[in-house]
Amino acid sequence: MSPLRRNVQILCGLVLACDLALAGWLLSPRAPSQSATRQQLTDARVQLGALKAELAQIRALRGRIHTSQEQMQQLMAEGFPGQREASSKLLTEFGRIAQQSQVEVSGATFAPDKTAPFDLRRVSINLQVSGGYAGAVQFLNGLERSPMFFLIDQVSVSGGEAAGVAAPANQVRLQVRLEAYEQALTSAGPRSATPSDLRMGGS
């Protein structure tokens, strides 16, 4: 039994005991005068009200703790993919954001750290984004708003040319370096870097 549940049960028992004690005292032949009884009844009601208020606060706190635990579990599930599926989920998220931003993402490479403090392993990512200026900015904003946890380290503009071919006007090519985190497998060793060269995004 958790300490919080035990405290709630104790307070419930105290409230019930106060009610029974008050009823027994009023029915006792040793009951005091009417004025004294009223004062004692008032004091007992004040104490009972305080106990009930404290009980309500504990119940509300218990509900908030339960909600916080659910939110933490949801954050871990959405923001930090498991080690086995991290690469595929990251690529899927890049593709989703690229499609919404009408840009293309290519040359994504992943370099996981060898260590995993607190069972979270940092993954260094490099990728290339090409498209219109507005779409490139929207892609970067999409990374920051993503339910996955991304930390953008560096963005370099490489102009609008690739392989000596001039790109259309208002086009840009970005080299983006960022970080993500994956939930490490406690029984497995560090995963080697998994380079990929995929093209994702809008048409």
Q: Which residue has the tokens 């990251």?
A: 90
SS3 7: helix
Instruction: Give the residue from 76, 79, 198 showing the smallest Cα distance to 143.
Output: 79
How far is 108 from 94, CA to CA, in rounded Å? 9
Q: CA angle 8-11-13, nearest 5°?
A: 110
- Stated pTM of the model: 0.58
Sorted by sequence, the CB contacts under 8 Å of residue 103 that are 6+ apart come out as 129, 130, 131, 132, 135, 136, 138, 139, 201, 202
- Along the 203 residues of the chain, how does pLDDT read in single tens digits? 555 556 556 656 665 666 656 555 555 555 555 666 677 777 777 887 777 777 777 677 666 666 677 777 777 888 899 888 999 999 999 999 999 999 999 999 999 999 888 888 999 999 999 999 999 999 999 999 999 999 999 999 875 554 455 556 678 999 999 999 999 876 444 343 343 434 455 54
